[in-house]
Structure 1
């Protein structure tokens, strides 16, 4: 269950192809040994309403939350987070060079006993 939720200011789309951000994140997750491919989800949503920092009209943000099932070593999650954050930083290098952008990543571990799933995708991919 590596689910990456990306929330961003819609004005960011003037400068960045958000699909490219999603693709870069997915590529890191899909090649990382600690994430089962069948469980990977990358979703991006523009915020309907937002205010960043001092409410300057040029301010933009992209906030990522990676939800994972419990049981992985913290060092493995840290390393995966470093790779994921670095890949997204590369895609966003131009906006990160401005004084009006905020990028973040948080990893959350989900308690398996409090998480329900019905996902035939896992069965299909395990047969490949």
Structure 2
């Protein structure tokens, strides 16, 4: 971990390069350091995945409304202050990415950070 999942209204694809956002957020996660200069998250565990919703209803259902939901799952062990720093760093990148659309499209964005112990965690890798 961390695993960042982005769910968004499919109508956003015509206005935004979500692959660029994924790369930007991944880079942010792997570059974050704690107060001692250590990486906050392991490089090999970092995942950023984005999924467009082809069917959606946002607010009053007007077709131009766009919603982006980011959910970051992390393992326990970081201070609340460090988790807040992570959240602010991610939101700064999201804001910079969507700034060109500000005022042009009605976009709402939510970021949740969930921390939890896995009940079961299985892993497999080819390399």
> Are 1:61 and 1:103, in contact at CA under 8 Å, matched by a contact in 2?
yes
TM-score, normalised on structure 1? 0.87
Structure 1 partner of 2:79: 73
1:82 equivalent in alignment to 2:93: no
- Could you say what the CA RMSD is over the residues aligned between the two structures, in angstroms? 1.6
| From 95, 100, 103, the counterpart of 2:106 | 100
Moved over 6 A (4+): none
TM-score, normalised on structure 2? 0.87
- Judged with a 3 Å threshold, the aligned counterparts in structure 2 of structure 1 residues 83 and 47 are, in CA distance, closer, same or farther, namely same
Q: Which runs of 5+ in 2 are unaligned?
A: 33-38
Q: Which structure shows the bigger proportion of residues in helix conformation?
A: 1
- Judged with a 3 Å threshold, the aligned counterparts in structure 2 of structure 1 residues 97 and 24 are, in CA distance, closer, same or farther, namely farther
Aligned pairs, how many? 121
Secondary structure, aligned partner of 1:92: helix
Deviation at 1:56, TM superposition (A): 1.3
Q: Which runs of 5+ in 1 are unaligned?
A: none
